[in-house]
Each structure stands twice: as structure tokens, then as C-alpha cells.
């Protein structure tokens, strides 16, 4: 099945996360990425730590390379990410003057989104704004991440409004997304995210969609596709798009029928996206276990994880076959 052309669909499916080093150095990886997918998400090249290492100094080389690779292979680009509390260069955390922090964020967005204006289809404008602290969801708190976020500390929730408005000014035709993990399931995290999107819409913030990361690191992370569907439909009622943005399903060594479970989880979420009009794309976070982000790199040699549709030898797994079957059912 490796020689097949990518599926012909109306949605921006499938999507793959990739980086410049692998595209440059691994010819088999490069051939698969260019032939099997219709959209590319750079894993690291667009993050401030790599793209804006020093104040006023930008390094677009890797990001530009990936954009050129996507264009040469008729792939759209989903750019990830403009504003995050992680992957920041040290200098972005050094100033505690709120107005200077605000200017730093707005200049960064204007320069980066302006550089790629017309070259990328979508942006993750704000990544992972929801808190990991359970106390943030009690006593009237709104569930937003305040710890470790220089943007929230300087501007409060309004940093999200400012970021989306700045991205829209810089690249008016690009679709703008908020990206988050752990919101596929029911619970306070999803409820708080939905309420946030509702507030943003009420304030006229130009947000187009929400990315559901769908990292299923453990059996407890497996989510019924119908639960995910209900959230996609909830967003549709707000006029908001949805996408699966970073899916991977690692299989434990003692997990029986793990490959079947992996295939069911991926195909189930893809079917939701194919069936719901406001779900615009389905992305795995990488596509081969050779470079999967769930690999154990703390040992030598690194131990790859069984989490993606192709194995470490770039052979398609059951998950890949089931994803193609989902397209065939449409």
C-alpha cells in the first residue's frame, strides 16, 4: 500500500508532523511524507525557541525549507505554533514588565506570521492555554494556565484575544486555531475550554477552530469516538471548526491486541472528522515509530515506541490500513 497515492478527499486529510532534519537526511521518510499526506505540520521549526533565538534575531531556514517541501509536494502547511508557554528562548522570560511582554508577543506574531503570509493555510495561534492544576477549575477560576506562562502573567486571559487579533492582522486569509490536549474526554478541562471559546466568540476574537491533540499515552486515555464527536458538534454550534491535531497511540508491552486498539482509536477519530462538516483535518504527531515523539530517548540506543501508523522500518501497520479503509467508506 506504500505506493498508493494519497486519498482524494474534500477535507485537508491526512496531515503529518515533520521536521527539516528528517526531510533532508532520510530519503525514504521524505518520499513517504511527500506522497501520503495532504498537509504538513512542522514539529519544531516554527516554535519561538528555534525560530526566534535572540531578541530581534530570527532564523527561518528550517521553517522555510519545510514550507518549500510542502509546496513542492502539493501539501498545505498547518503552522505550529505562535504563542506557547513552552519552547521559548530564555530572553522571552527575562522581562517582567507587562507592557514589554505584550510588545514582545505582538512583534513576534507580526514578524513570523507576516513572513509566512500566503504561504501557510493555518496557524496554531495559542497552544495549550488550559491549566494542569486542578485548583484552577474550582472556586470560580476559569481553568486557564497561569503558571509558567509569561503571557498570562502579563495580560491575563486577554493575551489570547491579542494573539488571535495580531495573527489575523498579519495573515488575514489563514485559518486560526487554538490547540489543546486532554479535551477529547468529558470533564472540567473540556467544559472550561468550551467556555473560553464561547467568551472569545462573544468578544469578536477571530478564532476559526480548535485542535484536539488526541495523545493517547495510556489505556486510560482511550476516548470513545462518540464523545469526541459530541465536542466537535458543540463547537459547530458556535461556528467553530475542529481538527485532530497530534494523535498518537502508544501500545504497552503488556497490552493485549494493542495493534488492533491502536487502529480502532485512530480510525474511529478519523471517521468522526470525515462525517462532521466542521472537522477539517486529522493529523498524527509524526507518522513513523522511527522518529515518534513517544520514543524513550533517555536510554542508549533510544527505544522506539509503537505509537504511529508506520513502524520504525517504515512499514505500514494495521492502523495505516484502517485509516485508508475509513476513506474508502466515504
Sort strands 39-42 and 122-127 into parallel, antiparallel or unpaired.
Answer: unpaired
Q: What is the 3-class SS of the chain, one letter each residue?
A: CCCCCCCCCCCCCCEEEECHHHHHHCHHHHHHHHHHCCEEEECCCCCHHHHCCECCECCCHHHHHHHHHHHHCCCEEEEEEEECCCCCCHHHHCCCCHHHHHHHHHHHHHHHHHHCCCCCCEEEEEECCECCCHHHHCCCCCCECCCCCHHHHHHCCHHHHHHHHHHHHHCCCCEEEEEECCCCCCCHHHHHHHHHHHHHHHCCCCCCEEEECCECCCHHHCCCHHHHHHHHHHHHHCCCEEEEEEEECCCCCCCCCHHHHHHHHHHHHHHHHHHCCCEEEEEECCCECCCCCCCECCCCCCECCCCCCECCCCCECHHHHHHHHHHHCC
Residue 191 main-chain phi, psi, to 5 deg: -60, -45
Instruction: Say whether 128 is catalytic.
Output: yes
- Distance separating alpha carbons of residues 326 and 330, to the nearest angstrom: 7
* C-alpha distances in Å from residue 180, one per residue of 43, 213, 222, 254, 277: 15, 6, 16, 29, 20
Catalytic, out of 128, 180, 216, 265: 128
Q: Which of 122, 184, 246, 276 is catalytic?
A: 246
Query: What's the CA gap between 47 and 81, in Å, rounded?
Result: 6
Set of cell numbers at residue 224: 470513545
- Phi, psi of 113, rounded to the nearest 5 degrees: -65, -35
Question: Which residues are part of the catalytic machinery?
Answer: 128, 246
Amino acid at each position: 500500500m506504500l505506493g498508493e497515492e494519497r486519498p482524494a478527499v474534500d477535507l485537508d486529510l491526512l496531515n503529518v508532523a515533520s521536521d527539516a532534519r528528517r526531510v533532508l537526511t532520510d530519503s525514504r521518510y521524505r518520499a513517504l511524507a511527500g506522497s501520503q499526506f495532504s498537509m504538513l505540520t512542522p514539529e519544531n521549526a516554527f516554535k519561538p525557541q528555534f525560530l526566534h533565538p535572540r531578541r530581534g534575531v530570527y532564523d527561518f531556514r528550517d521553517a522555510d525549507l519545510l514550507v518549500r517541501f510542502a509546496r513542492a509536494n502539493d501539501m498545505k502547511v498547518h503552522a505550529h505554533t505562535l504563542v506557547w508557554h513552552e519552547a521559548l528562548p530564555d530572553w522571552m522570560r527575562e522581562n517582567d514588565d507587562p507592557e514589554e511582554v505584550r510588545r514582545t508577543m505582538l512583534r513576534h506574531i507580526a514578524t513570523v506570521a507576516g513572513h509566512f503570509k500566503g504561504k501557510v493555510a493555518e496557524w496554531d495561534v495559542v497552544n495549550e492555554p488550559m491549566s494542569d492544576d486542578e485548583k484552577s477549575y474550582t472556586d470560580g477560576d476559569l481553568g486557564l494556565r497561569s503558571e509558567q506562562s509569561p503571557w498570562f502573567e502579563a495580560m491575563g486571559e486577554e493575551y489570547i484575544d491579542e494573539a488571535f487579533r495580531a495573527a489575523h492582522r498579519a495573515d488575514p486569509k489563514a485559518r486560526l486555531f487554538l490547540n489543546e490536549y486532554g479535551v477529547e474526554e468529558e470533564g472540567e478541562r473540556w467544559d472550561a475550554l468550551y467556555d473560553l471559546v464561547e467568551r472569545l466568540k462573544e468578544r469578536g476574537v477571530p478564532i476559526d477552530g480548535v485542535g484536539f491533540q488526541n495523545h493517547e499515552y495510556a489505556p486510560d486515555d482511550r476516548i470513545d469516538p462518540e464523545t469526541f464527536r459530541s465536542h466537535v458538534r458543540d463547537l459547530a454550534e458556535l461556528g467553530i471548526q475542529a481538527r485532530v491535531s497530534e494523535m498518537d497511540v502508544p501500545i504497552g508491552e503488556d497490552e493485549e491486541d494493542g495493534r488492533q486498539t491502536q487502529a480502532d482509536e485512530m480510525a474511529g477519530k478519523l471517521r468522526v472528522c470525515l462525517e462532521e462538516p466542521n472537522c477539517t483535518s486529522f493529523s498524527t504527531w509524526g507518522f513513523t515509530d522511527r522518529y515518534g515523539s513517544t520514543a524513550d530517548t533517555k536510554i542508549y540506543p533510544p527505544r522506539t515506541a509503537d505509537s504511529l501508523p508506520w513502524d520504525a522500518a517504515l512499514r505500514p501497520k494495521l492502523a495505516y490500513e484502517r485509516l485508508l479503509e475509513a476513506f474508502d467508506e466515504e
